[in-house]
Amino acid sequence: MCDLPDEKAIEMSETFSKRVGVGIGSNSWVSGKLLERLKRVMYRRNGHLEVSVDIDCGNKEVISFVNLKLRDQVFNKYEISMDNRKPRNWPAILPENKAKEIVFSYANRIGLPQDVKFSHMRLDKIDSGTWNAHWKRMHNGYPYEDGSLSIGIMAIDGEFFSYGKFFRGKPCPTDVKIPKEKAIAVGRNKISSLMSDEKAKRHLQDYVVSSSELKIVQPNAVFGFLTPFHRSNSRLAWVVTYSLPSNDPKLAEDVNFADKFVIKVDAATGKVIGGSLSR
């Protein structure tokens, strides 16, 4: 259950807004519990959503902030269509180095966690017209598979648009006892067990390893079966991706249209602890 009072949620959203220089007024509305772990504070004016803030009920911190009012103001000012299917005539965009400088000034105001490492900048001219900076969550030098943080600014004038923190999992031991080659072999054996018939198994070696990385993951294998449900006991694992190298329709049909497998092998034990497949 979420034990965060509405008044406290509003106070936290307003404190965050002041920190990044966004005025939000007093027309707030709390939507209640989202999945029993979040509270969303929304600021509306004349029926239009202007600012949305998500607060984690567990650790009592803002994990999402979107300044929709600012986006609308910028699009209206420069006569940019809200419909991304139509041509957009963008005015001058901030160069990446200047955008990064502005983003880092906001990061200093917010106070980012110690366990994140800057990753890259990305320009979005399709939806929001923003420069977005991305950080990865790390532990002992290894990235979390599901651990990231982002800050977005308007690409034209650098005003603050969004913040998002997605952290899942906890720090865990990072012993690596299984070499990459062993993990790749274990993963290929797991793919063989997932294939439905002998015709598909004949194409096992057609899958090439497109990536193999050590990441902190949330296991989703139960009694040898891959499930959509993840457990909370994080593990360091080899995350190995196997892909079909061609678009041959006959090959895809033979393997039941499973064109990519992701297998997660525990880096300490060599056991398959998770994965997924796409069709």
What token pair was written down for 125? 């001219």
Mean pLDDT, residues 198-203: 76
Q: Which residue has the higher pLDDT, 119 or 279?
A: 119
What token pair was written down for 265? 């092998």
pLDDT greater than 80 at residue 256: no
Q: What is the Cα–Cα distance from 195 to 270, expressed in whole angstroms?
A: 21
Q: What is the pTM of this model?
A: 0.87
Q: Which residue has the higher pLDDT, 102 or 229?
A: 102
% pLDDT > 70, the chain: 97
Question: Can you give the pLDDT at residue 259?
Answer: 81
Distances in whole angstroms, Cα of residue 274 to Cα of each of 89, 210, 244: 45, 18, 20
Least confident of 10-19, 46-55, 116-125, 164-173: 46-55
Comparing C-alpha atoms, which of 184, 235, 189 is closest to residue 210?
184
Question: Can you give the pLDDT at residue 35?
Answer: 58
How confident is the prediction for the chain on average, in pLDDT?
90
Comparing C-alpha atoms, which of 125, 128, 129, 112 is closest to residue 164?
112
Contacts of 56 (CB under 8 A, 6+ apart): 37, 38, 62, 63
Mean pLDDT, residues 22-51: 80
Question: Can you give the pLDDT at residue 44?
Answer: 85
What token pair was written down for 131? 């420069």
pLDDT in tens, 94-135: 999 999 999 999 999 999 999 999 999 999 988 889 999 999
For 180-278, CATH number?
3.10.450
Question: Can you give the pLDDT at residue 147?
Answer: 94
Question: Can you give the pLDDT at residue 32?
Answer: 63
**CA-based diameter of the chain, in Å?**
65
Please say whether the dihedral angle defined by the alpha carbons of residues 8, 20, 111 and 96, taken in this order, is positive or negative.
Answer: positive
Q: Which residue has the higher pLDDT, 255 or 155?
A: 155
Domain ranges in the chain with CATH number 3.10.450: 180-278
pLDDT greater than 90 at residue 30: no
pLDDT greater than 70 at residue 195: yes
pLDDT greater than 60 at residue 33: no
Q: Each residue of 89-112: b (16+ CB within 10 Å) or e? A: eeeeebeeeebbebbeebbeebeb
pLDDT greater than 60 at residue 42: yes
Q: Which residue has the higher pLDDT, 134 or 58?
A: 134
Q: Compute φ and ψ for 5, nearest 5 degrees.
A: -65, 150
Least confident of 29-38, 154-163, 239-248: 29-38
